[in-house]
Every structure is written in structure tokens, then in C-alpha cells.
């Protein structure tokens, strides 16, 4: 193996790694959304996760994160839809399960209050 081959092989490996990074783009968008959400920029986060879903509609992460964002905004119908889609795609994911459980608890409280109002 001469020096030329070694350099070429190393370049090839580097290229492969770079391709891996490029292939990672939708996930980068998810990550960017998370960073935005952590800074309180929930609209930006929603934009990023919706864009992720355009290129990868079967991303449980994007559906779950969108559900959290909608819940934060008080849009409970949209949040429920997104949680359901996330659970359909990844039923074993304990993070989604935990989020959905807490969401349901929150929603039940709200529904109970609404029922109380109706009774009055």
C-alpha cells in the first residue's frame, strides 16, 4: 500500500462520514427545534418539527415534540392527534408514553371542569 492509496482511503472514509452528516439533516432539524424550545422559542420549534414531518412524515420524534409544543400553546386537539401518531409509530417509546399519560391527566382535569360548568 503506497502513500497515495492511504491518502485516498482516508479521504474516502472522511467523505463517508460527511455523507453521514448530510443524511442526518431531518434529525438536525429536530435537534434545532429542541434547542429553540429550550430557549422558549416554541413557534420556531413548531416550524422546525413541521418541516421535519414534510420530509419524514413517519418521525415519532417530530410528532411527539409537536404534541408537546401544541400542548404548551393550549391547542389540546392538535396535541392529542400528534401524540396518537407518535404512539402509532413508536408504541414502545417510554418517553412518548410518559408525555401522553401526563397530557391525559391534564386533559381530564380540564374536561372535569367543563362538565362542572355544564352542570351549573
Residue 96 is a binding residue for other proteins (CB under 8 A): yes
Under the criterion CB under 8 A, does residue 51 sit at the interface with other proteins?
no
Q: Within 56-75, which residues bind other proteins (CB under 8 A)?
A: 60-61, 64-65, 68, 71-74
How far is the C-alpha of 22 from the C-alpha of 12, rounded, in Å?
15
Q: Which residues of 75-97 are buried (b: 16+ CB within 10 A; e: fewer)?
A: ebeebbebbebbbebbeebeebe
Is the Cβ of residue 28 or residue 54 nearer to other proteins in the bound state?
28
Instruction: Using the Cα atoms of residue 72, residue 39, residue 93 and residue 27 in order, give the sign of their dihedral.
Output: positive
Q: Is 15 in the site for other proteins (CB under 8 A)?
A: no
Alpha carbon distance 67, 85 (integer Å)? 10
**Distance in Å, CB of 1 to other proteins, minimum:** 5
43 alpha-carbon distance from chain centroid: 14
Interface with other proteins (CB under 8 A): 1-3, 5-6, 9-10, 13-14, 17, 20, 27, 30-31, 33-34, 37-38, 60-61, 64-65, 68, 71-74, 93, 95-96, 98-99, 102, 106, 109-110, 113-114, 117, 120
Amino acid at each position: 500500500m503506497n502513500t497515495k492509496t492511504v491518502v485516498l482511503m482516508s479521504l474516502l472514509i472522511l467523505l463517508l462520514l460527511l455523507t453521514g452528516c448530510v443524511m442526518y439533516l431531518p434529525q438536525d432539524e429536530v435537534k434545532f427545534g429542541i434547542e429553540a424550545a429550550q430557549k422558549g422559542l416554541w413557534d420556531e420549534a413548531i416550524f422546525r418539527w413541521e418541516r421535519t414531518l414534510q420530509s419524514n412524515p413517519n418521525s415519532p420524534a417530530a410528532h411527539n415534540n409537536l404534541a408537546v409544543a401544541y400542548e404548551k400553546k393550549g391547542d389540546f386537539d392538535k396535541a392529542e392527534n400528534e401524540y396518537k401518531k407518535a404512539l402509532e409509530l413508536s408504541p414502545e417509546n417510554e418517553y412518548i408514553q410518559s408525555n401522553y399519560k401526563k397530557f391525559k391527566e391534564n386533559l381530564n382535569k380540564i374536561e372535569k371542569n367543563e362538565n362542572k360548568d355544564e352542570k351549573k
